[in-house]
Structure 1
């Protein structure tokens, strides 16, 4: 019997979700603090930092889809996806440590170092995270079970975000501030991520091993697809294309907000301590949102829930855009409310992605979970790069200078990036998702057709 038809144990879902903790531990750490580290510690200009982010993501555009294809074609004693977690996570930890290292170099040398190390980090991050996310579609075919799997990994990922946001600045201060403090804080997070990925690999061992590989191949009508055929999983997958477009605009908005957040609370509000408090309260109060997301997705549909949550998120962001900085309590409360809504717009695209995997499998006969998930990893990186570039360029354009009292023009720009950009991103996401075709009923019919097709293939074999 295929692993996909075997019920996934709660203990396995829990262990798998630890991968989300380790993944977000490093992802949020870099997206939230790398720009600040480069501008205020490594002393690179904001515009140069944005350029570094863009260069690396353009390189990723060519690498990530092929890494996904390579992952799907992996056959080993450890399975298809697990070996990448087991052996890639220590490399990811090492590259993250180098990312937050500030060697004494010339201005041009610093930029060259940042580009080289960021490329290495981004490559290894894809090597580990593409197979990690691909596992969510690989361990089960049951829609409800998949929703809980994705919710669990995103919930644990949110806990990783909480740990980062609440502890980074205190840890940096504890370890001596400056480049030394950042180095040892990064070392602690990097080691923690390794054990998180290893726990994940342990949890899915019964669903991803050599025996399961053989069973999957026996059910496929295309056991040795060429790279060109695997790329069809992307080029012919209309739901995937729409989902990726909606995700990239939302992610660009989210990452611009994430990159600028520490600047906003430090310079506009003058309360950098509230930056950590925001994530603590936002994460704790968001727990019910994670718990009810699978139920709501089943009841009203993933697409509808995504659209409703985007529309609701725009409202407090619009209010915050016009709220004067002296109203600290109101700004903090509304910002927490936006964080509480976060699980809906962040979890749902990952819930929809396994449906896109099924769609691609029906159209091409290829089980390419990693290939499809690689595109979401890539899109998240592109969105992060656009957000980082946008934040860096706009700050540089109005004359931001690290560590000084900022001009009114800089403060206004920080406010616009923090609140107006997400409004635009969520609005565009709403428009794009109107064309997404997979509803709950559509997916149910798709699975029936897919099951009939694979049974016919198995009968012929």
Structure 2
């Protein structure tokens, strides 16, 4: 049966994987440092930051599915998805630079500035990232190769994580530190993001093809959204993936605060990030084989479960030795990679389920739904961190009260535990097992 599936050439998969670099550069940069940059560098109140994160996600609730449906119904000589990637990439790069630029302004104008720039950045990110993720099922019909493609995407995402979580602070210091250092680093990341997405679009050129003689399908947003709501596996995947992202976003948003105010060891940020990152790298080449042996659904659930253990250890012992800290974060870096990678590999299965169940394929809408929940979880995590720090009286660049320190520890380790527990529940209700998917794929092939 595998011979029936069209596959992508390795060189094209490699080129396409550069989208993982472009997408994750901005993702990790915003998740790891934007809250810290706004409060400690730009001088914005934490409550303002939390409000910004929340409002932007309400906007995404409308724009993400619209973008997914627009890309599904795009009909051009360049394909459905590539025109959006190619045209939006330079704009995305520009707004990454502007995110980390801190012009001299009055306090009120600073608030206006961050709202305009961040919301526009979020919109441009939608234009680029949703078509990029929609290309995965277009590149290959083979379920095993789709997992390989996602592993390559996430491998490039690991490169992005290295550039951001390990290299950001040293490079910012090398560029002059403070506002100047962050602005230059933001410009560098913006350029890398643009080029990465252009290479990605190049890789998808042979596969993102429209039949110009075929009658176009009329855009019907209401009907498309109804199909999404009826797709139970997609809804369960969105919840599981979203709560995992929320867990990661919450601890990432307070990561700098934990090292700066709880441990008084900012120098440990790159070292601990290295342990977390390299443990995740070990998993990537193993993931396709493990997923094939264990099954994607079961492996996702186990990954979320075992992500909880190191978090609980550090929650109970937040000032443990550096050896324990790095060991626990290495364990976390390994097991938490499983659900974060598998979510994208399971997305095409949900698209296939929709085609099998309802007779209509909506790769763009499905991708936009997971992209939205990805951004939603990231924003809610950032909102939770900023909001609760504000409640307990956090003030930047001064010694913190015991209440603030306890809150930082809870947000860094306790809140993520809650997120992973929620993902365990939703993934238990995900109905596409490997056996079920073989049936779905076999019936689609017969049609």
Q: TM-score, normalised by structure 1?
A: 0.93
In structure 2, the residue matched to 1:293 is 287
**Alpha-carbon distance, 1:444 to partner:** 0.9
**Alpha-carbon distance, 1:357 to partner:** 0.7
Q: Supply the distance in 1 between the matched residues of 2:240 and 2:389 (Cα, whole angstroms).
A: 26
Q: SS state of the match for residue 254, structure 2? A: helix
**Alpha-carbon distance, 1:341 to partner:** 1.7
**Alpha-carbon distance, 1:287 to partner:** 2.2
Q: Which stretch has the larger CA shift, 99-108 or 345-354?
A: 99-108
1:406 equivalenced with 2:406 (yes/no)? no
Is the 1:233–1:368 Cα contact (8 Å) retained in structure 2?
no
Q: In angstroms, what is the RMSD of aligned CA positions?
A: 1.6
Q: Please give the per-residue CA displacement for 1:190-244, whole angstroms capped at 9, x wherever unaligned.
A: 101111111111112111134xx459x68xxx94452222223312111101111
**Alpha-carbon distance, 1:373 to partner:** 0.5
Q: Which stretch has the larger CA shift, 355-364 or 420-429?
A: 355-364
Alignment of 1:14-29 (within 5 A): 14-29=14-29
Q: Supply the distance in 2 between the matched residues of 1:320 and 1:359 (Cα, whole angstroms).
A: 40
Is the 1:233–1:372 Cα contact (8 Å) retained in structure 2?
no
Q: SS state of the match for residue 207, structure 1? A: coil
In structure 2, the residue matched to 1:99 is 99
Cα 1:414–1:277 change in 2 (3 A) is: same
Q: Which stretch has the larger CA shift, 409-418 or 356-365?
A: 356-365
Is the 1:269–1:328 Cα contact (8 Å) retained in structure 2?
no
Q: Which stretch has the larger CA shift, 5-14 or 409-418?
A: 5-14
In structure 2, the residue matched to 1:338 is 332
Q: Supply the distance in 2 between the matched residues of 1:102 and 1:304 (Cα, whole angstroms).
A: 46
Q: Supply the distance in 2 between the matched residues of 1:89 and 1:413 (Cα, whole angstroms).
A: 38
In structure 2, the residue matched to 1:114 is 114
Which of 355, 358, 367 in structure 1 is aligned with 2:352?
358
In structure 2, the residue matched to 1:185 is 185
**Alpha-carbon distance, 1:163 to partner:** 1.0
Is the 2:95–2:190 Cα contact (8 Å) retained in structure 1?
no
Cα 1:326–1:286 change in 2 (3 A) is: closer
In structure 1, the residue matched to 2:313 is 319
Q: Which stretch has the larger CA shift, 43-52 or 223-232?
A: 223-232
**Alpha-carbon distance, 1:5 to partner:** 4.2
**Alpha-carbon distance, 1:281 to partner:** 2.5
In structure 1, the residue matched to 2:205 is 205
Cα 1:105–1:225 change in 2 (3 A) is: closer
| Contiguous gaps of at least 5 residues in structure 1 | 454-461
Q: Supply the distance in 1 between the matched residues of 2:17 and 2:375 (Cα, whole angstroms).
A: 21
Q: Supply the distance in 2 between the matched residues of 1:131 and 1:371 (Cα, whole angstroms).
A: 9
In structure 2, the residue matched to 1:270 is 264
Is the 2:76–2:212 Cα contact (8 Å) retained in structure 1?
no
Q: Supply the distance in 1 between the matched residues of 2:142 and 2:218 (Cα, whole angstroms).
A: 26
Q: Supply the distance in 1 between the matched residues of 2:155 and 2:62 (Cα, whole angstroms).
A: 30
Cα 1:225–1:62 change in 2 (3 A) is: closer
Q: Supply the distance in 2 between the matched residues of 1:300 and 1:351 (Cα, whole angstroms).
A: 14
**Alpha-carbon distance, 1:411 to partner:** 1.1
Is the 1:225–1:366 Cα contact (8 Å) retained in structure 2?
no
**Alpha-carbon distance, 1:448 to partner:** 1.5
Q: Please give the per-residue CA displacement for 1:322-354, whole angstroms capped at 9, x wherever unaligned.
A: 114152321122112211222202001111111
Equivalent residues, number: 444
**Alpha-carbon distance, 1:246 to partner:** 1.5
Q: Supply the distance in 2 between the matched residues of 1:198 and 1:251 (Cα, whole angstroms).
A: 26
